Amino acid sequence: MTIATVGMISSYRGLESRGDWLWQQTPNPFGVWGNIQMQTLAAKPDFLVTYQFDFPQASPQISWLDRFRKRQQKPVVNVESLLRGVNKERIIYLLREPPLDEIVEINNRNYQQAQKYCGYVSGPDDFAPNPDYMPAIWYHSNSFQDLNEMPCPEKVSPCSWITSGINRTANHRQRLDFLQSLQSSDIKFDLYGRNLPEWAEKSGELGNKWYGMAPYYYNLAIENYADNNWYVSEKLWDSLLAWCLPIYYGGPAADKLLPPGSFLRLPSLDEKGIAYIKEVTATPDAWYAAKDAIAEARQIILHKLNLLNWLSNFVAQHS
**Residue range 240-251, pLDDT digits in tens:** 999 999 999 999
In the Cβ-directed half-sphere of 236, how many Cα atoms lie within 13 Å? 32
pLDDT of residue 63: 44
At residue 68, the pLDDT reads: 46
pLDDT tens for each residue of 76-121 = 678 999 999 999 999 999 999 999 999 999 999 999 999 999 999 9
Pairing of strands 4-10, 47-51: parallel
The whole-angstrom separation of Cα 26 and Cα 18 is 16
Q: HSE (CB half, 13 Å, CA atoms) of 277?
A: 31
Q: How far apart are CA 8 and CA 101, in angstroms?
A: 28
Q: So what's the pLDDT on residue 62?
A: 44
Interhelix angle for 271-281 vs 170-184, to 10°? 50
Q: What is the pLDDT of residues 110-128, one digit of tens each?
A: 999 999 999 999 999 999 9
Extents of the domains making up the chain: 4-132, 144-304
Nearest to 96 by CA among 56, 128, 142: 128
Say what the pLDDT of residue 14 is.
87
pTM: 0.93
* Beta carbons within 8 Å of 200's beta carbon, 6+ residues apart: 165, 179, 180, 183, 191
CATH placement of domain 144-304: 3.40.50.11660
**Which residues in the chain land under pLDDT 50?**
59-71
- Which pLDDT score is estimated for 253? 97
